[in-house]
Amino acid sequence: MKQSFLLNASASYSGSGSLTTHSRTRIKKKSAHADDSQPYALALIKVIIGLGNPGRKYSGTRHNIGFRVVDELSDRYAGTWREQGEMMLSQISVPSQDSLLSLLLIKPLTFMNNVGRVIPVLSKKGIKPEQIVVVHDELEKKFGALSMRLGGSARGHNGLRSLISVMGKDFWRLRFGIGRPEEKDMVGDYVLAPFLEQERQEIPLLIGQAIDLLLR
């Protein structure tokens, strides 16, 4: 029996990333892998949160790649987005071993710096940090590099920092590499800017690879 979990722009890098307000050489080979520190098991996951800023003006920016991944995941599995409180929700069912697994997809509507506000609602439903995957942009990885890991620091990402402040570090992250600008003081404009034309051509394939990592 499937279990249902439907619930009754700011810039967001800081520290070394120095993002406090609202090109590059093409990478020939992309990488997608799960870190070896602890095995990832889809069967244990209940929620996937894509990070981004709400509003049309942010929809194609590097910072909103998390939204785009969960949007594609919802489309593939016939999910329907609905607004509830400070988040958009979509319930989907995906194949997992010999059965269907129910997953709740979330897009916070709080802007990055306050995405942690969605967590208490999940906690009240008994959902634990290790049952959550957060999909986010990653400055410290080259464009197109993908990895899955459990735990770790915020790495200057205020969206992650907000989540960690509420539920601790022990949640899964799918890190979607966007690369880093040459100058530190360019980070704010960089993450809130659209991908380059060549990158935009590669994004659909990379989103597909990200989904493969999530559902493997």
> What digits encode the pLDDT tens for the residues 99-132?
999 999 999 999 999 999 999 999 999 999 999 9
Which is more confident, 188 or 79? Answer: 79
Q: Is the pLDDT of residue 5 over 60?
A: no
Q: What pLDDT score does 154 carry?
A: 86
**Does 63 participate in catalysis according to the annotation?**
yes
* Domains assigned to the chain: 32-215 (3.40.50.1470)
Residue 16 has pLDDT above 60, yes or no: no
Active-site option among 22, 33, 63, 136: 63
Predicted TM-score (pTM) of this structure: 0.85
The predicted pLDDT at position 38 comes to 77
Per-chain mean pLDDT for the chain? 87
Q: What pLDDT is attached to residue 161?
A: 96
Q: Indicate the pLDDT class of residue 22, thresholds 50, 70 and 90.
A: very low
Contact present, 167 and 123 (Cβ < 8 Å)? yes
pLDDT at 50: 98
Note every long-range contact of 158-162, with CB atoms under 8 Å and residues 24 or more positions apart, other chains counting. Answer: 158/10, 158/11, 158/12, 158/13, 158/14, 158/19, 158/112, 158/113, 159/12, 159/51, 159/112, 159/113, 159/115, 159/134, 160/134, 160/136, 161/14, 162/112, 162/113, 162/114, 162/115, 162/116, 162/117
Percent of the chain topping pLDDT 70: 83
